[in-house]
Amino acid sequence: MRHVLVTGAGSGIGREVALAFARGGDALTIADLHADALAETAELALEAGAASCATTTVDLRGADAHDTLMEAAWATAPVDVLVSSAGVYPATPFLELDAATWDLVLDVNTRAPVLLTVALARRAIAAGRGASVVSISSGAALRARPGAAPYSTSKAALEAATRASALELGRHGIRVNAVAPGFVTVDSTVNPVTEEYANAVGDTPLGRRGTPADIARAVVWIAGDEAEWITGEVLRVDGGSSTGAWHLPQHWTAIGQEEQA
């Protein structure tokens, strides 16, 4: 049985990740900004088979929030797995971007998971223990999206930090990886008959949008012993959308050039 700390566990991917570990009988500490949603996840986790489930309501933008959260989790039991799933995505056109929005996104999406990893690593090394860290990145780290300059930047930085921390922490038995989802439907009320939905599916070779469960399975796997010789990697769970421009026609002709026979 492992002790797993999951941030952003109140909904979406974070909740599904917590439930996936719960089904394996692990002990959980789950954190989120929203207390009511967090309590609902805790109830679901215990029903799913979690050995225990402690909850912590936290705003990860706080100056010492990362250390306070890790200290609270560690007081229950040493943390074996950290999953940083908390994130924000305020869609903002580039010309409307301001410092407050930029700071918010970088603080939550990059600073918090990096400093949580530092807080875990310090405690694990002092205790002579290994650990596994998995951060939730995004396909936006590689493929820019309109209105997502801070989000794309935050996820690209998170992937760089994943590699850098894995390099330094490996000798201590601490693995650091990331999982980068493609387009995932986290709201069951989303209408699939829309142009936006169709475009996302059309850009995915496997022909459907992902689900939180798709991401959770990948997180549990890369966090576990079956992936014990993997560190510093970004596992892209995106139905193949990062492989190339799937939606383009097979006989693409460059603008201003004639097709060659």
Active site residues: 151
Residue 28 CA to residue 25 CA, distance in Å, equals 9
Nearest to 118 by CA among 64, 59, 56, 157: 64
Q: Is 236 helix (H, G, I), strand (E, B) or coil?
A: strand
- Check residue 131 and give left, alpha or beta (phi > 0: left; psi -120 to 50: alpha): beta
Q: Which two tokens stand for residue 253?
A: 């002709």
Q: Which residues contact 57 (CB under 8 A, 6 or more apart)?
A: 31, 32, 33, 34, 35, 38
Nearest to 135 by CA among 83, 77, 66: 83
- Cβ distance 84 to 109 under 8 Å? no
